[in-house]
Structure 1
Amino acid sequence: MRRIRTTTVTVLTAVLALSAGCAAKEDTASPSAPRTIKAVPGCGKAAWTDPADRAPDRAPARCDKGTPAPAPLKKRRTLTVATGTLNAEYVAPLRLAIEKGEFKKEGLDVELKVLPTPEALPLLAKGDLDTLWAAPEAAVVNGINGGFPIRWVAGNFSPDPESKSGLWVRLKKGESASSASLKGSRMGTMIGKGSVIMYPMDSSFASHGADMNSVAFQQLGSADVLTALTGGGVDSAWLLDPVWRRVDGDKKYAFLGGQPQGEPLGGALYGPNLLRKDPDAGVAFLRAYTRTVNTYFRGDYKADKAFVTELAKLLKVDAKILTSVPSLRMDWEIRKGTTDRLQKSYRDAGVTKGAPLPEDRIVDRTLYAEAVGHRPGNAS
């Protein structure tokens, strides 16, 4: 709990500092003027889905391979992108876009920098960073509420239906997955209460007779979460890819739920540089990103052994580990209401204060809409 509290204090201190001197309280994140959106060859109706569609089997938006085509900026631009890790699979589209020269085709030189979200947020808000590849965590909501000119502008992925990354419980005698009670239990997790994972976790708790206040959280290192669950140190745990494979099929354990299918919970966050100062570069970045997804991450991309070998080398992970879990559903779109559901879970966890922010204070879909040629009015 000490780690969570320290993180919250760090972010709140940064918010106060920026609000006092570096940014005004008024909303300054959205582009200053409406932008012209042109049709994009290769990106038809399938390049946009209704944001209100939350069907688990919803097909993610896609353009043809190799599209949207590059539209190089008149002046070359260097962008610095912060991410919490370089080796996670959800970062693969960025890594591959750099490797394949997709950003360079747009006139962008993209540099990745490893930084945790609390440290990156004030830098993004001041313009010292251009993009944060993360999630609209509680720290982001608190930052925007305090004056940070930041928006969530693109999604990253949702899980495959076969994935069991998420909440696992050690069953008591006579319990099943449906009857397992979490009230009064101890839960092990690497993730603090300010994480977006609180949203699916909150739902799982409610389905099993518990809430945020009736479960004791124990924050553990990545190597300790599984050991604590199997050794009896905790009653439940949030197991990530590919760790959950270690208990899958063992009748002593049950999977209670993970990230909602068809609903990305992270992706690209922009600050004032790409939202207002240089939205052309902001669109160019998303155009390269969506082109990379359309070209290399369609469907079950892990079925291609040669691509898996290339991806494993790029991410510096074992190819066998990479293929031990299903392909992610790479998805650049943001679902309607996701930030409302996230904020509810943060309030339940006690990590945000004040009235919930409306979606348009956190989300901006206009830049990826422009990248794929979606005109406003065709869908919400």
Structure 2
Amino acid sequence: MPAPGPFLTRALATAVTLLGVLGPLTACDVQTSDSAHSGAERKARPIAPVAGCAKGWTDPSDLSEDRAPARCEPGAPAPKPLKKKTKVVVSASTLNAEYLAPLQIALAKGEFVKENLDVEVKLLPTPDALPLLAKGDIDVQYAAPEAGVLNGIRQGFDIRWVAGNFSPAPGSKSGFWARLRPGQTADEVGLKDRTVGTLIGKGSVIMYPMEKVLAKHQADVDSVRFQQLGPAEVLTALKNGGVDAAWLLDPVWREVDGDAGYAFLGGQPRGEPLGGLLFGPDLLTGDPDAGVAFLRAYIRTVNTYFAGDYKKDKAFVKELGQALKTEPDTLAAVPSLRMDWEIRDGTADRLQKAYAAAGVTEGDPLPEDRVVDRSFYAEAVGHKP
């Protein structure tokens, strides 16, 4: 089979960087400093209504696939500059994945500057960034509550998932694809004892939707053979029979979409973000005003530039391509993401259940309030939970 083209190879490389495995951390991995405010109590803060954000909140228990994400009016919530210019350091494992678009556009449009924030983004592999977040050396990690994060929290690290990122658009087929036998339909695919090609490890959030797909096809994480492949190998292995199924990300799945020899079995749940922004102790308890200001700028960017199908605007797609250093045609080849800063009820529990089944976490599940803190975006949009 021919090798993937340059745009496809870059997309795969981005995917493998994004989904790098977070292994369990040990106590010696992180020594939290006094400045990290480790374990400090987070006090309730007053919340006032915010102009333009009457629809800036949805019921977290609403898990319907057609749920419209929360949205304020364009330009809302309005900036409330901090009295003192504040430096905020953000880490990300890639700088050109589309899910990072609100962060990159916020930087390009000066939305953080409007809050008197000096935001610096550092390119760091997720496993390297996590201990720095726990120590307070970085303030925000754009990642996900993966197994390594939860293992760290279990050991006492003061880290919380404070905002979501996106869920797939209805037209997206990013997810689990299987190669069909002649005459076979998607409903007839059995995955037990089959080989699954993947860029990810069992500690990734993708184990949650993957587990659901396996269950629908008479399998579980113990009855399939996972074959971890390089970024340019997954699609090739699926096509040449090296694996029976594979998790294909945007825009890779377009290579097999419409081909009768392949079937899309499922992907990330609609309307349920699985990643986003993690705050460390410096913003959680050291300077929560800066934490709210950071989310206010981020949310304002979503409301202003990503409220709906943002890829209908060709000029903006070009601008987005410049910010992400990605070809506009590559971005336009797949549906717009549904940017969503909210976190659904029970997502942390479902992730932990998947990690436990995969054998990458130990001990009792953490209660949601040890993993999730919705208070920062609630204050940013003026909602009293």
Tell me if structure 2 keeps the 8 A contact 1:164–1:244: yes
1:43 equivalent among 36, 39, 53: 53
Counterparts of residues 20-99 of structure 1 (less than 5 Å): 22=33, 28=39, 31=42, 33-44=43-54, 46-99=55-108
Matched, 1:313 2:322: yes
- 1:165 aligned partner: 174
C-alpha distance in structure 1 between counterparts of 2:175 and 2:271, whole Å: 15
| Corresponding residue to 2:30 among 11, 14, 18 | 18
* Secondary structure, counterpart of 1:343 in structure 2: helix
SS in 1 for 2:119: strand
Gaps of 5+ in 2: 1-19
Amino acid at match of 2:253: W
SS in 2 for 1:313: helix
Counterpart code for 1:231: N
Which secondary structure state, in structure 2, belongs to the residue aligned with residue 47 of structure 1? coil
1:277 aligns with 2:277: no
More deviation, 218-227/280-289: 218-227
Shift in Å, 1:218: 1.0
- Among candidates 229, 239, 256, match of residue 247 of structure 1: 256
Q: By how many angstroms is 1:117 displaced?
A: 1.6
Aligned counterparts of 1:107 and 1:96: Cα–Cα separation in 2: 17
| 1-structure distance, mates of 2:259, 2:247 | 16
Contact kept? 2:22, 2:149, Cα under 8 Å: no
Query: How far is the alpha carbon of 1:310 from its aligned partner?
Result: 0.4
Q: CA-to-partner distance for each residue in 1:44-81, whole Å, 9 max, x for gaps?
A: 0x110000000000000000000000000011011110
Cα shift at 1:147? 1.2
| 2:227 matches 1:218 | yes
CA distance in 2, matches of 1:300, 1:183: 38
What does residue 309 of structure 2 align with?
300
Per-residue deviation, 1:108: 0.4
Match of 2:376 in 1: 367
User: What is the Cα deviation at residue 16 of structure 1?
Assistant: 3.4
Query: 1:348 maps to what in 2?
Result: 357
Identical pairs, percent: 65
Note if contact 1:154-1:333 (Cα within 8 Å) is conserved in structure 2.
yes
Tell me the distance in 1 between the aligned counterparts of 2:271 and 2:188.
Answer: 26
> Would the aligned equivalents of 1:334 and 1:365 in 2 still touch at CA under 8 Å?
yes
> For the aligned residues, what is the CA RMSD?
1.8
Give the Å deviation of 1:163: 0.2
Unmatched segments (≥5 aa) in structure 1: 1-5
For normalisation by structure 1, the TM-score amounts to 0.93
Deviation at 1:364? 0.2
Q: Which moved more, 1:278-287 or 1:186-195?
A: 186-195
